[in-house]
Amino acid sequence: MPRLAADCMLGKLAKWLRILGLDTLYSNTWDEGELLAMARAEERVILTRDTRFFRKISGSERAIFIENDSFRDQIQEVISGLNFIPPEERSFTRCSLCNHPLLDLPREEAQARVPEYVFRTQEHFAFCSRCGRTYWSGTHQKMAKEMREEILFLSASE
């Protein structure tokens, strides 16, 4: 699995790459130097919307220039830049907020952590041991599935 580091303009993209299972570092306070140091230390592919920065690093670093404004098109740019489609079983294995790998949460433990309606209607739960967020299948999972299908369709038709 390729690992990524996104610049401060790519918060929404980073969130979606994590949902699709890609290890993506992001901070809205990073400057260029910090982003570059982090990417080098952990052999990450840099994602950037900054033309000048991209020109500066593209000779020496693995970097993908993100041109589009919409995050759906941006995901497509990342997938073609990496030439890699994240496998379906990787979806929802990372926290979309902090990138930490998710752990399964047994149903009986989920009861105290989610709204009553969610507990009654959902079967599978997961949680992030770093930020404490609880996840369940539902709207987001449906969106991730649709997103994957769209990516596969677009990649196949190129």
Binding stretches for Zn ion (CB under 5 A)? 95, 97-98, 100, 128, 130-131
The residues near 7 (Cβ < 8 Å, ≥ 6 apart) are 30, 32, 35, 46, 47, 48, 49, 50, 53
Report the nearest approach of Zn ion to the CB of residue 107 (Å): 20
Report the nearest approach of Zn ion to the CB of residue 96 (Å): 8
Residue with smaller CB distance to Zn ion, 130 or 142: 130
Residue with smaller CB distance to Zn ion, 101 or 138: 101
Determine how many CB atoms are found less than 10 A away from the CB of residue 98: 14
Residue with smaller CB distance to Zn ion, 40 or 100: 100
Report the nearest approach of Zn ion to the CB of residue 19 (Å): 12
CA–CA separation, 56 vs 123, rounded Å? 49
Report the nearest approach of Zn ion to the CB of residue 94 (Å): 8
H-assigned helices in 48-137: 51-57, 71-82, 107-110, 116-121
Residue with smaller CB distance to Zn ion, 87 or 132: 132
Report the nearest approach of Zn ion to the CB of residue 138 (Å): 18
Residue with smaller CB distance to Zn ion, 131 or 152: 131
Phi, psi of 72 (to 5 degrees): -65, -45
- Sign of torsion, CA 140 130 94 16? positive
CA–CA separation, 64 vs 60, rounded Å? 12
